[in-house]
Structure formats: structure tokens, C-alpha cells
Amino acid sequence: MSVSQALDEIKIGGLGASRRRVEDDRFIRGKGNYTDDITLPGMLHLEILRSPLAHARIKSIDTSKAWDIPGVHLVLTGEMMATRNLAWMPTLSYDTQAVLATDKVRFQGQEVACVIADDPYIAKDACEAIDVEYEPLPAIVNPAQAVADGAPVIRDDKENQPDNVIYNWEVGDKAGTDRAFEQADVVSRLQLHYPRSHPSPIECCGSIADFNRATSKLTVYMTTQAPHIIRAAVALVAELPEHMIRIVSPDIGGGFGNKVPVYPGYVCSILASILLERPVKWIEDKSGNLISTGFARDIYLDGELALRKDGKILAVRMHADADHGAFFSDAQPSKFKIGLLHSTFACYDVPVAHLTARGTYSNKAPGGVAYRCSFRVTEAMFFQERMIAAAAADLGMDPAEFRRMNFVTDEQFPHRTPFGFLLDSGQYAKCLDVGLKAVGYEDFRRQQEEARKRGKLLGLGISTMTEPLGAGNSREYDILGIKMFDSAELKVHMTGKAILRTGAKTQGQGHETTWAQIVAHELGLPAEDVIVEEGDTDTAPFGMGTYASRSTPVAGAAVSMVARKIRAKARRLAAHLLEVSEEDVEWELGRFYVRSSPDRGVTIQECAMAAYSNMPDGMEPGLENTAFYDPPNLTWPFAVYLVTVEVDQETGVWDVLNIVAVDDCGVRINPMIVEGQIMGGLTEAYAMANMQFITFDAEGNCVGANYMDYLLPTAWETPGFELHSEVVTPSPHHPIGAKGVGECAAVGGPAAFVNAVIDAIAGTGVRNIDMPLLPDRVWEAITHGHDVSGAPPVRADD
């Protein structure tokens, strides 16, 4: 594209324009329309009674006092749900999950009963009037306890479940990896715990179910990132006809993976509305969200690198123990039990690798959601970059040089990893060079030496990441057999204004802005002439939803493809209007012209009018179309994050001095939005590394399920960022060369912070401090010269 063409495109808000987010007009005016903003006539309110215990048999539930409270319309228990076959529901990972507990409670905060009343306060009071008698059972809070001899079986409701193991999974070449380890000069080993982490969107989960007996139609307004999947789930679980179910996802105040699963509150509000024939609203509170909805991570990693003494990586061997909580409810491509953990080490040229993974139940809320990551990629990249840092230290090599010598080189693309992924494109060494220059690598190393002599601890951490974004393709990726692809529908009206609908669902990422930019790029219509709608299953074409940064790689590609279909028809209209054959018509942004006479042309808007008023004989009228896009491959963005810190050895407090981010996400549709995504991801990475503490004591009590312990950084705590965008490697298979970006910084960021702190305290012999790097843990490591590993050690009597 020439410079003048690029400028023309920027003028209409096309590709590369830092167009202001159109959705913000309503958000900054307080005119967003979130689930809790919706009030329907005759609406009732649902509140949930949650278990105070992590593991206990339910001896009895007495709801009589709750029924007696004026304003109460319905009290639901598991026993009542069971009469409708709704006490248990299937999960997205071929397991079952209790909607309301019947036999046992299996985690603290589990849903035991719910009350539907005139207002939420009455419903809450009535919940407290429900009398539940429990017989406590020993609790299991980690994988080691889950597989210990004599461990109580948590899922004794399931046939053929004699223990707490959910799966054993493996991928790679075991024999080849073993052989490579026999030839290694050095074997570097690291064990890590990636702690439980919570997406904590500002808006909690909620739903309003509205069943209309007269029309038999069920409308559910709800906080879901995947409305079409929810429609299918409701149809299958509640046995309602799918065309009589309308799921509407209004504005969503952040999802980050938290709003993908199906939660009991949704199911209860639907059943209650069907029974009462009135709209029923359930809005979760903050503690309910932190204690009971989808957590992420909680995974123990044990890995080894086989190394040649010159620094070449010969093989990777890795084992993961994943704690899934009481129900295996991960939303991920079904055949990959541990998500895409095997994307680990993808950016390094590793000849052979082997990964084993074991999933276990515990007495915790179901975990393993893809919190701002492509199904366990955060764990994969964290582990990779912590391993790389440890291996460089073991070899006595510079960590930047060690990375560079092992990177997949530019000439190796497309590159097949030992776990079978095909990397599309990248310029890894170039990104590293940009980052090292920006952070002033050599200078910082000198300053670090000098500071050490004065007793000050400075550290520099590097982290790189490449993430498989954009599941499908449908050959390899499905959820419960439903293939992963996406769609877009474009209707161009006669005056050249258009409406675009996709099967994705924005939760703050700015799709209303960027999808219109893709249409502007493909058709030359000004972006402001294109309105974007998502989230209503009655109007939007089918899609698998928005998570795992799959929107741009899949739905965004569908937008391009549907616009190209429209352009192809517009070309035929142009030929008709210009009275030449189609082959003689050329295209430039927004206009068709006659090749031999470029002054003779028609605009895309004129073609749109002709589609309704002057089409050639035999042509179907109108200018509308739909495209389903099944990507040929995933897109693989790459990033390098560099963090410098100063650690106070007296207190263990560490301050960030500088953060440099070099992201290559291919072609950027909207550079400003991309930068916002990277800043948000880095903020979350900083929070995970530094301040987010959520764990469980020996009795399974959730410690830290409040915002005094589980800290969300505000603008005050968040360090500044230096972002670099000069490396652009288009995806060769995406129609506009874009790769996903939404999660990259949250995925790659945490290791940069941890590596920086470990680098600062090098010399103490400490190899690892597990996140969060709270000051007392850093202080303990410095003072005692030992690793601080595992979940924070909280005992029942603390």
C-alpha cells in the first residue's frame, strides 16, 4: 500500500487508524446498558445460599422459615431441582457440576439453595433463614493431598470414579526426550506453583431470565462471553427448543474468561422464571464472584531442560499437576485436557519434548478458566520463561544471549514445534533487539554491578511469549464436539450505510470500533457509517464467543471475508453501471473504475444504491451476505517484556523502575486499542506477580476472597509502560495479516517481574519465589537464602 493510499484509509477510519472507541460515548456518559441496568415489569430477585464448609455431607435442609417470610415467592433446593433433572448440569469438559447441592457440598461457597423474592434484600434474609445441617468431612486443597493414600473421594457421586484423579494426559516423544537427556551436558530443573488467580471483572456475573408462557419464548439477558454456546446449553440441559431461546449479552463490564462457564445462578434464574412465569434477576456480589466463579491457574509445574554446555537446548521434559476444584468445568477445546499448555517453548527451536499432565479434584471452586489467556498458555509461558532464566543462570550465560541462540529464526517459518503446533510467522530476535536497546541493557548491567557494591539490589527480568491465538481450525478444535469457527453478517443499506453483526461478543475490547475499521478497509465505507452489533442470538450469526483472544483471528477474519463477498457483488453492479465487462473494472478504496479510463468510476455507495434500484437483469437484489470463517491455522503473536526493579533487602519490598514491551501482533487494526490491551495486560501481570493473594487453609476455607487481600491495582499503584510497535510480522494466513493481542501481556508479563526480582537477589542462591512475590516472601528468600515455593503457607489456626 502506498503512503497516500494509507493516508486515504486513515481518513475513513480504516486499518491503522487510531480511531476513538465509539462504544465509549455511552460508557463515559454512564449510558452503558449492563445486565443489572435492566428492569423488566414484574421482575423478581434471586439470591443464593452458599456453603460455609468446603467438604461436608448434607444431612438436612429446612426451608420452612424462609417460605414464611413475606415477599418470598420460591425457595429452591437441590432436591427440587432433581425432580426436574436439573440438580446437576454437564460441564464444558465432559464432567458434571452440581447446580444446587444434594448429597454433599464440595467447596466453600458452593450453591446450596436459592430464594426468589420481591427484592434482593428479602431474598437474602430468607437465605439466612434456611437451616442446613452438615456433617463435616476432611478437605483436600491441593493435588498432593488429592492423590495421597486414603484421601476422601470428593466425587463419590460419580460411577467409575474411585479416586480424585480426573485425567492423565501426555503429548510429545518420551523415548526421544529420554535419549536427548542422556546426551545433555547440563540438566536444569525447576519446580513452580502458578497460584490460583482470579479474573475479577468489575461487573460480576448475573442473569435475568424471562419466560413467557403465552409465546413459550425464553429470553435471558446475561453476562456471557459466549451467547450462542449458552443457548445450545440451555436447549440441551433444560430441554427447551433452541429457536424458542434468546440469549442477550448486553454491555459486559469485563470478562477475562470469568464469563465463559455456565454458573448455577444462571440455571436457577431460568428455572425460577419458568416456574413463576415472571422475570427473575440474579446478580452475584463481589464475594460470591471471588469465592465461587471460575478461577484460573492453580497448577504445579516440574520441568527439566537438557542443555549442551554452549547453551543449545536439546530437549524439554515437563510434568503438570492441575488442581481443578470440585468439578472439571474448564472451557477449552475438549481434546486438550490441559488446554494449550503444550505451546510451551514454542518460540525456541527445541528438537524434542515430552509433557505429562494430571488433573485432580479438590475441595475448591471449579478452576482452570482461561483468564486472559488461550487455555493454559499463561502457565506455559510463565513456566518457559522462568525455566529459561534458571537455565541461563545454571549455564552462567547472559539470559538475553541464551534466548537469542535458541530462538526459532526468521527463516524457519512456518515452524513445527515438537508438540505439533505450526508457527505462522515471527521475527523473534528483532523484537529482542528492540527491547534490549529500549531498556538500555548494557548500561543497566553496569549500574546493577555498581549498585550491588553499595548494597542496593537492582534486577532486570526478560520474558518472551508466543501465543497460539484464534482457535479453530475446526479440524483440531472443538468444544463438546461443536467445531470452533466464527461468522459475520454484513448488510449494506441503499444509502451506503451498513450494519455488521458477528458471533463474537465484546466485553470491553472495542469490537464496535475495530470491526467497522475492517469493513472500511475492505469496502472504503467510512467506519462511522458502519454500526456493529454483537451478543443477541436472535439476530447475530452463530459464533463460539470471545475468549482466548480469538476474536480478531477468527471473527475479525470473517468480517473481512463477508466484506469481500459484498465487494464482489458490488463489482458486478459497478460493471453494469459503467457498461463494461467485470474484467475491465478495477478497485481502489471505495471506488470501482474502468481500467482503460480511470476517470470513469462509481463509488461503493453508488453500487449500494444500484443493488436496490438498478441491478442488472437476473441479479438477486440487495447487498447483504454472511461469512463463516474456519481459520487454516492459529495466529502466533510474539512479544518481549523487560522489567527493571529495585528490591529493598531490609523489607523485601520491590519497586518497578521501568517496563518495556515489544509486541508483534501482525497488522494492527487500531494501534490505540492495541496499546490499551497491552497496558491492561501488563497491569494484570503486575498484579499477579506482586499483590494477588488467594489461597485455602487446611480446612478448605478460602483465604483472600475479598479486595483487602486480593488486590486490584489502581492507576496509583500501576507502573508506567514503554510500548514498542516497530516490529510487524503479518500472519500469512489471516485475510488482513492481523494476529490476536488481547492477552499477550497478561500471558508474558508475569515472568518478567519474577525474573527481575530473582535477578536482583542473584548471589543469595535463591532460584525461585512463587507468586505472589509479597514482601514477606521476598524477605524470607533473601534472609534465609532459600526458595519460597508453593501456595502461601496458611494453616487453619493462623
Residue 668 makes contact with ligand CDP by CB under 6 A: yes
Residue 677 makes contact with ligand CDP by CB under 6 A: yes
Asked if 527 and 19 count as a contact pair (C-beta separation under 8 A), the reply is yes
Is the Cβ of residue 456 or residue 483 nearer to ligand CDP in the bound state? 483
Report the sign of the C-alpha dihedral through residues 216, 217, 222, 225, in that order: positive
How far apart are CB 518 and ligand CDP at their closest, in Å?
A: 8
Is the Cβ of residue 209 or residue 516 nearer to ligand CDP in the bound state? 516
Cβ contacts of 15 within 8 Å, gap of 6 or more: 9, 517, 518, 520, 521, 667, 669, 736
How far apart are CB 373 and ligand CDP at their closest, in Å?
A: 11
| Binders of ligand CDP in range 459-518 (CB under 6 A) | 509-511, 514
| Binders of ligand CDP in range 21-80 (CB under 6 A) | none
Among 432, 566, 665, 782, binds ligand CDP (CB under 6 A): 665
| Binders of ligand CDP in range 184-223 (CB under 6 A) | none
Helix axes 428-439, 441-453, angle to 10 degrees: 50
∠ CA 596-601-606, nearest 5°, is 155
User: Looking at 57-65, 317-325, 484-492, 739-747, which segment touches ligand CDP (CB under 6 A)?
Assistant: 739-747
Among 97, 670, 701, 755, binds ligand CDP (CB under 6 A): 670
Residue 406 makes contact with ligand CDP by CB under 6 A: no
Burial of 450 (0-12, 13-18, 19+ CB in 10 A): exposed
224 vs 238: CA distance, rounded Å? 18
Residue 377: closest CA among 634, 686, 737: 634
Is the Cβ of residue 402 or residue 485 nearer to ligand CDP in the bound state? 485
Residue 546 makes contact with ligand CDP by CB under 6 A: yes
| Binders of ligand CDP in range 303-332 (CB under 6 A) | none
669 vs 513: CA distance, rounded Å? 10
Is the Cβ of residue 261 or residue 556 nearer to ligand CDP in the bound state? 556
What's the residue count for the chain? 798
Among 552, 690, 695, 701, binds ligand CDP (CB under 6 A): 552
Report the sign of the C-alpha dihedral through residues 47, 53, 55, 57, in that order: negative
How far apart are CB 639 and ligand CDP at their closest, in Å?
A: 12
User: In the numeric block, which cell numbers belong to residue 420?
Assistant: 505439533
Question: Cell numbers 492507576 label which residue?
Answer: 715
Among 143, 535, 740, 772, binds ligand CDP (CB under 6 A): 740
Residue 293 makes contact with ligand CDP by CB under 6 A: no
Among 142, 343, 378, 551, binds ligand CDP (CB under 6 A): 551
737 vs 550: CA distance, rounded Å? 14
Active site residues: 225, 372-373, 743
| Binders of ligand CDP in range 556-585 (CB under 6 A) | 556
Residue 79: closest CA among 71, 88, 70: 88
Q: What number of other Cβ atoms are within 10 A of residue 524's Cβ?
A: 24
Number of residues binding to ligand CDP, judged by CB under 6 A = 24
Residue 530 makes contact with ligand CDP by CB under 6 A: no
Residue 549 makes contact with ligand CDP by CB under 6 A: yes
Region label for 781, one of left (φ > 0), alpha (ψ between -120 and 50) or beta (otherwise): alpha
Is the Cβ of residue 322 or residue 554 nearer to ligand CDP in the bound state? 554
Region label for 533, one of left (φ > 0), alpha (ψ between -120 and 50) or beta (otherwise): beta
Residue 537 makes contact with ligand CDP by CB under 6 A: no
Whether cis (ω within 30° of 0) applies to the bond prior to 496 is no
How far apart are CB 310 and ligand CDP at their closest, in Å?
A: 37
User: Looking at 169-177, 355-363, 551-559, 561-569, which segment touches ligand CDP (CB under 6 A)?
Assistant: 551-559
Q: What number of other Cβ atoms are within 10 A of residue 310's Cβ?
A: 9
User: In the numeric block, which cell numbers belong to residue 562?
Assistant: 463477508
Residue 742 makes contact with ligand CDP by CB under 6 A: yes
Is the Cβ of residue 408 or residue 674 nearer to ligand CDP in the bound state? 674
Is the Cβ of residue 738 or residue 752 nearer to ligand CDP in the bound state? 738
How far apart are CB 485 and ligand CDP at their closest, in Å?
A: 14
In three-state secondary structure terms, 321 is: strand
Whether cis (ω within 30° of 0) applies to the bond prior to 631 is no
Is the Cβ of residue 249 or residue 551 nearer to ligand CDP in the bound state? 551
C-alpha neighbours within 13 Å on the C-beta side of residue 559:
36
Footprint of ligand CDP (CB under 6 A): 509-511, 514, 546, 549-552, 556, 665-670, 673-674, 677, 738-742
